[in-house]
């Protein structure tokens, strides 16, 4: 998908406001990811020079180690800034950074042997830093984003092992899934193409049923960004799904066994479609049924969530149903052609006597006049 088309489709689905909330475990690379995202995609597309500089000044700081750097949610920039990628693609963009969920081994949420107390906009009294981090993270996910990024790590950098991140990443994923908000998991790693990394990403996708994109956030490229955004786009809900079936099925009675079976197959497959990503799964389910021959995606509008599929049935079923309706065996196209010719001849003969037969039923008698080609003219005797 062209990158401008991708951004335009996301803008359509979010009403023109692309507010990306970054959540997940602390020390997973959220701030680094946000900083590179803004520098690569957003800053150069801000036309107003003063807005561009203010946005640049608001970029989060990032550093190595186990100490938590982000202490409260941070809006980057403070208000959504309008960017223009081309003449007809304009939208408002804002990134939202947050502390994240605490992980074992991270430093900065205790002080003098006890919980670090902080003031927040959400409570009148001081609360423990860990509670403030969780509250702020939840608000970023719930109230301040139209799409989400769960940024976690594989333990290939820093001082925290992979297992430290698992509980917090699972919590963030489950909360976003419960909200039904489109999101993608970014697996921060120094080896995004390593076999072990790809295997871990695959395991997380199967475990959570969400897209997982391995990325080195420190060395993130524009291509990485658009890969992640494309995965997010497939997480948006489907608004309408249409499955086009062969036209001749419409001529069957609604209670006919084949029509009923096809409707059952389609309802089962389409009933599980919630996201654009589910369309592919539905197509495989339709294709695996005992009545389908081929299933193709006729169109899918990513900006509106409308998908249209076309499904054909086994040719043998067509001839089987045709034979049922005709009362004779019609195994192939040749037999169908012969049957049509025979039916035409029979209909022609019937049309000639039809009026007389109707009169016989209604009046008790009927007359059939000979056609001109049936009359024989002879010399008078």
Share of the chain above pLDDT 70, in %: 85
**Taking 90 as the threshold, does the pLDDT of residue 69 lie above it?**
no
* One domain for residues 266 and 198: no
Where is pLDDT greater, at 70 or 209?
209
CATH number of the domain enclosing 297: 3.10.20
Residues 155, 84, single domain; the answer is yes
In-domain check, residue 337: no
pLDDT > 90: what percent of the chain? 25
Are 200 and 258 in the same domain? Answer: no
Residue 195 has pLDDT above 70, yes or no: yes
- From 233, 249, 274, the end of a domain falls on 233
Q: Is the pLDDT of residue 159 over 70?
A: yes
Distance between CA atoms of residues 142 and 97, nearest Å: 13
The model's pTM? 0.71
Q: CATH number of the domain that 7 lies in? A: 3.40.50.300
Regarding whether 207 and 93 lie in a shared domain, the answer is: yes
252 located within any domain: yes
Residue 99 lies in a domain: yes
Q: What is the pLDDT of residue 99?
A: 64
216 and 254, same domain (yes or no): no
Judged against a pLDDT cut of 50, whether residue 258 lies above it is answered with yes
pLDDT at residue 72, rounded to an integer: 59
Question: What domain range is 36 assigned to?
Answer: 3-233
Q: What is the pLDDT of residue 283?
A: 94
Q: Of 194, 213, 233, which residue constitutes the final position of a domain? A: 233
Sign for the pseudo-dihedral over CA of 152, 157, 158, 160 = positive
Residue 20, pLDDT score = 85
Q: Is 36 found in the same domain as 98?
A: yes
Cα(377)–Cα(381) distance, rounded to whole angstroms? 12
Rounded mean pLDDT, 214-229: 90
Same domain, 135 and 247: no
State the pLDDT at residue 66: 46
> Which of the listed residues 200, 216, 233 is the one where a domain comes to its end?
233
Task: Clarify whether residues 155 and 56 are in a common domain.
Answer: yes
Q: Which residue has the higher pLDDT, 289 or 376?
A: 289
The pLDDT tens digits for 321-376 are: 888 888 888 888 888 888 888 888 888 888 888 888 888 888 888 888 777 777 77
pLDDT at 65 over 50: no
More confident residue, 311 or 121: 311
What is the number of domains present in the chain? 2
């Amino acid at each position: 998908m062209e990158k401008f088309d991708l951004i335009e489709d996301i803008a359509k689905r979010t009403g023109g406001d692309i507010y990306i909330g970054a959540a997940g475990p602390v020390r997973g690379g959220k701030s680094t990811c946000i900083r590179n995202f803004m520098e690569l995609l957003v800053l150069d597309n801000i036309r107003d020079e003063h807005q561009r500089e203010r946005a640049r000044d608001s970029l989060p700081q990032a550093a190595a180690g186990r100490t938590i750097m982000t202490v409260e949610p941070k809006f980057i920039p403070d208000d959504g800034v309008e960017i223009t990628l081309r003449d007809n693609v304009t939208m408002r963009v804002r990134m939202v950074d947050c502390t994240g969920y605490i992980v074992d081994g991270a430093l900065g949420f205790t002080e003098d042997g006890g919980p670090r107390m902080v003031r927040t906009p959400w409570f009148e009294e001081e609360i423990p830093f860990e509670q403030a981090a969780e509250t702020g993270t939840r608000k970023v996910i719930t109230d301040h984003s139209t799409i989400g990024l769960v940024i976690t790590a594989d333990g290939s950098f820093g001082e925290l092992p992979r297992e430290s991140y698992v509980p917090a990443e699972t919590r963030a994923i489950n909360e976003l899934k419960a909200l039904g908000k489109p999101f993608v998991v970014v697996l921060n790693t120094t080896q995004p193409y390593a076999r072990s990394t790809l295997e871990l990403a695959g395991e997380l996708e199967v475990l959570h049923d969400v897209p997982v994109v391995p990325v080195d956030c420190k060395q993130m490229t524009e291509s990485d960004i658009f890969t992640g955004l494309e995965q997010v786009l497939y997480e948006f809900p489907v608004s309408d799904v249409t499955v086009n079936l062969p036209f001749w099925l419409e001529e069957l009675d609604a209670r006919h066994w084949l029509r009923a079976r096809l409707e059952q197959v389609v309802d089962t497959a389409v009933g599980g479609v919630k996201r654009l990503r589910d369309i592919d799964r539905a197509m495989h389910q339709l294709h695996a049924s005992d009545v389908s021959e081929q299933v193709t995606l006729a169109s899918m509008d990513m900006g509106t969530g409308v998908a249209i599929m076309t499904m054909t049935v086994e040719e043998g079923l067509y001839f089987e149903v045709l034979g049922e309706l005709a009362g004779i065996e019609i195994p192939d196209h040749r037999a169908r052609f012969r049957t049509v010719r025979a039916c035409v001849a029979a209909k022609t003969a019937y049309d000639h006597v039809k009026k007389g037969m109707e009169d016989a039923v209604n009046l008790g008698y009927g007359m059939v006049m000979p056609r001109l080609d049936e009359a024989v003219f002879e010399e008078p005797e």
